[in-house]
C-alpha cells in the first residue's frame, strides 16, 4: 500500500513539474537555455569531453542545443539518443551532424534516422561516451533525478551499477523543477551533477 501511495505521489509531482516548465514563455525558455549553456561551458566534465550526448527538447524541457556550435568548434563528437528499434524502453546513442538524416520517433522527438544502415554504423556503445547531458522532470540539491517515468535512461545505463568504464551523467533543468527531496529507487542511475539555468548541484 505504501508503494502504491508513493507511485501516486510521484505521478502527481511529475504532472505538476511538467506544468511548471510548460508554463514558461518562449522568451523565458530562450533566456534559460542561454544561462544553462553558459554554466555548462564552465564544467570540467564538459570541457574535457570528446564524445558527448545531448538531447533535442520537447514539452518545455530546457534546451541544451545552444551549446552545439561551441562543441563543434572544440571538435567534440556529438551524439543523440535514439529509441532502440529492437528493445522496448532502451536507447541507442547515434552520431549527430548538421547533415544527419532525422526522423520523428513515436513521442514526436527528432532523432537520427537509423533506418539507414550508415546511421546504425554511427552508433556508439553507451559506455564509450565521455558525458551524457540528460533531461529530467524534477531534481533535488543532492543531484537526484526524476525522469519521465518510462525508465529509458535507467535501463540504458544500468551497466553503470557494475564496475567498468562509464560516462559522466549531467542532468539539466529549469530552476523551477527543483524540489526539496526525491525518493531514490534501487534501479535509479545516479547523476554526478545537475545544472539549472540558475545553479549547479553536485552529488554529495
Write out the binding residues for substrate.
56, 61
Count Cβ atoms below 10 Å from residue 158 Cβ, excluding itself: 14
In sequence order, the 6+-apart residues with CB closer than 8 A to the CB of 1 are none
Please give the C-alpha separations between residue 159 and each of 25, 61, 125, 130, 176, in angstroms, as whole numbers: 38, 26, 11, 15, 31
| Annotated binding-site positions | 10-14, 56, 61, 145-153
Q: What's the angle, vertex CA 76, arms to CA 70 and CA 78, rounded to 5?
A: 95
| Annotated binding-site positions for ATP | 10-14, 145-153
Residue keyed to cell 544561462: 35
Whats the size of the chain, residue-wise? 204
Handedness of CA 159, 178, 142, 50 (dihedral sign): positive
**How far is 116 from 186, CA to CA, in rounded Å?**
37
**How far is 32 from 175, CA to CA, in rounded Å?**
9
Separation of first and last alpha carbons in the chain: 31
Q: What's the angle, vertex CA 41, arms to CA 37 and CA 42, rounded to 5?
A: 125
Amino acid at each position: 500500500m505504501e508503494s502504491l501511495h508513493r507511485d501516486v505521489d510521484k505521478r502527481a509531482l511529475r504532472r505538476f513539474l511538467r506544468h511548471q516548465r510548460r508554463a514558461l514563455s518562449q522568451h523565458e525558455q530562450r533566456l534559460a537555455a542561454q544561462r544553462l549553456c553558459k554554466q555548462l561551458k564552465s564544467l570540467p566534465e564538459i570541457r574535457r569531453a570528446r564524445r558527448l550526448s545531448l538531447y533535442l527538447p520537447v514539452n518545455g524541457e530546457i534546451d541544451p542545443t545552444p551549446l552545439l556550435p561551441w562543441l563543434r568548434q572544440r571538435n567534440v563528437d556529438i551524439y543523440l539518443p535514439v529509441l532502440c528499434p529492437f528493445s522496448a524502453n532502451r536507447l541507442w546513442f547515434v552520431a549527430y551532424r548538421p547533415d544527419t538524416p532525422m526522423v520523428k520517433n513515436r513521442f514526436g522527438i527528432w532523432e537520427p534516422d537509423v533506418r539507414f544502415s550508415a546511421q546504425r554504423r554511427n552508433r556508439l556503445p553507451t559506455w564509450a561516451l565521455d558525458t551524457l547531458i540528460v533531461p529530467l522532470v524534477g531534481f533535488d540539491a543532492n543531484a537526484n533525478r526524476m525522469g519521465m517515468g518510462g525508465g529509458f535512461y535507467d535501463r540504458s545505463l544500468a551497466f553503470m551499477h557494475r564496475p567498468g568504464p562509464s560516462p559522466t551523467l549531467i542532468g539539466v533543468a529549469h530552476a523551477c523543477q527543483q524540489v526539496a527531496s526525491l525518493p531514490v529507487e534501487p534501479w535509479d542511475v545516479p547523476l554526478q551533477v545537475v545544472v539549472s539555468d540558475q545553479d549547479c548541484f553536485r552529488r554529495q
